[in-house]
Chains A and B, each alone.
Chain A
């Protein structure tokens, strides 16, 4: 069995499960965001459920519409505050950041765990060697009523990553390369494992980026075999937590293994309005950037701030460009302040927003006007994702977004380094 199957089996109280089988499972934690909590509470009532089955396993975060931007959101958030009190849900994080960033920070996700959430990017957690997947509101409402949910055991595809990154290239470029080569449906319904000598060297932040993006290849969950890096993360984050990492039995537990040499990858950009249409950043130098959108569950971690600040230190964002920054979590925000990274970004001309989803489906803080171009280190460039459906969104790495904000047009981070000292090239 693959480790993913073993994790599902354990949470189904079974010795083993078969790929393709549907089993009822009891997750370790379920994340409800502001939208999910409001809808699931409503649907739970419609299903005739009065009490949440296991309130201690439920974590509520406000990340999409917080602080409330419309009265309907503040009304919904008020109702949710009352509802969690009434239901005895004590794990509540309003405005502390994006669920998928704070889950690993607070030790809600851990190796061998099963995590559900009312958001597609719940898969991010799977970088810790757990099974983590998004669910619909009715799905979660049913879990709240019954304490379990149905899950199909997925086949697993493995990407073996090896080679050395070129300067300025990182995990996000690998994800974009996979989208370029294999499409937005590279892994429909599948588990996607990342392995190989490159992954062994990647810090947790880069691993979260890889696993965050698997939903945008159609996957059910990511997976990275826990190792020393994972253990260090857990010791730091949840020193008293007992966890059990699973292992995969053999190579025959994979439906496919794909070998990828990252040395060949350049700084990549997904162009509107589809993640699988990908170009080298250097080919897009004629794309003028109106707004750089920095943060989200893909690119809002402290490591991203360090990368951006290193590129932007002592420089100014191009006069015709604006940059909207939302830290992924309160902890990230505080750490970035301590390290002076926020100073660097603000002095360069960036606008700092609250920890949370920001403009990426957060419906606020930096919406685009028609015909405007944005570059973002988020995961998606769907039409209308950041405001006007007539706007254009380009998806790239944190380094490429920071470099492009300075240049005022799309550049690869390596180009900016080479040209440092030059004035803005327009």
Chain B
């Protein structure tokens, strides 16, 4: 999976309350609704500033806190190409994998990327590059099961496939 985009940078311990504030929780969401509230706990104008394919670069422990899937789903819906940080909150990582959003761990990456930098990364080849500075790092290998789930477009597609197989087997 090859991804290239412009970076938006954030600090340490950015929790999911900030990424998707609870005032925007809804039992069901209209298309585009989640994306329209992405990161508004930090910057209210963020949803209008970003373009599809942009990359979010966070500091340590990015996405910590509540299990709210909307944090990852809003990024996916906004067309974010990947989210990169030195470390992530566990539930956020899991939710990214499940919604099919590449979630990429790279030590010290927050010190290497400035706002607006073009960042290029490849999950299969296992590298990340910052084009302005020429910085390049190897990515730690992702569990093949997780990579496959991301490439398949997330757990919804996986579930649909298994259900279809079961129905076929049941005749």
Residues of A that sit less than 8 Å from B by CB: 20, 22, 35, 38-39, 42-43, 46-49, 72-73, 75-76, 79, 118-120, 134-139, 141-142, 145-146, 150, 152, 183-185, 188-189, 215-216, 218-220, 274, 276, 361, 363, 380, 382-385, 389
Cross-chain pairs A/B with CB under 8 angstroms, 10 sampled: A38-B28, A119-B67, A120-B65, A135-B91, A218-B64, A219-B90, A383-B17, A383-B18, A383-B41, A389-B21
Which residue on chain B has the smallest CB distance to residue A21? Answer: B143
Q: How far is the CA of A46 from the CA of B160 in the complex (A)?
A: 9
Q: How far is the CA of A361 from the CA of B20 in the complex (A)?
A: 12
Interface size class of B (residues with CB under 8 A): 35 or more
B7 within 8 A of A: no
Q: Which residues of A contact B23 (CB under 8 A)?
A: 363
Q: Are A136 and B64 in contact (CB under 8 A)?
A: no
Given contacts A49-B163, A138-B95, 18 further A-B contacts (CB under 8 A): A38-B28, A39-B69, A43-B156, A47-B159, A47-B163, A48-B164, A49-B159, A72-B26, A118-B67, A135-B67, A135-B94, A137-B69, A139-B69, A146-B163, A184-B61, A188-B89, A218-B89, A276-B13
Distance in Å: Cβ of B152 to nearest Cβ of chain A: 12
Residues of B that sit less than 8 Å from A by CB: 13, 15, 17-18, 21-23, 25-28, 41, 60-61, 64-67, 69, 72-73, 87-91, 93-95, 98-99, 143, 145-146, 149, 154-156, 158-160, 162-164
Distance in Å: Cβ of B58 to nearest Cβ of chain A: 12
Q: Which residues of B contact A216 (CB under 8 A)?
A: 64-65
Distance in Å: Cβ of B32 to nearest Cβ of chain A: 16
Which residue on chain A has the smallest CB distance to residue B94? Answer: A136
Which residue on chain A has the smallest CB distance to residue B145? Answer: A22
Q: How far is the CA of A144 from the CA of B102 in the complex (A)?
A: 25
Best-buried of A72, A76, A185 by chain B (most CB within 10 Å)? A185
Q: Are A189 and B90 in contact (CB under 8 A)?
A: yes
Q: Are A188 and B94 in contact (CB under 8 A)?
A: no
Q: Are B13 and A274 in contact (CB under 8 A)?
A: yes
Which residue on chain A has the smallest CB distance to residue B23? Answer: A363
Q: Which residues of A contact B164 (CB under 8 A)?
A: 48
Which residue on chain B has the smallest CB distance to residue A380? Answer: B65
User: Looking at the complex, which one of A119, A137, A185 makes contact with B61 (CB distance below 8 Å)?
Assistant: A185
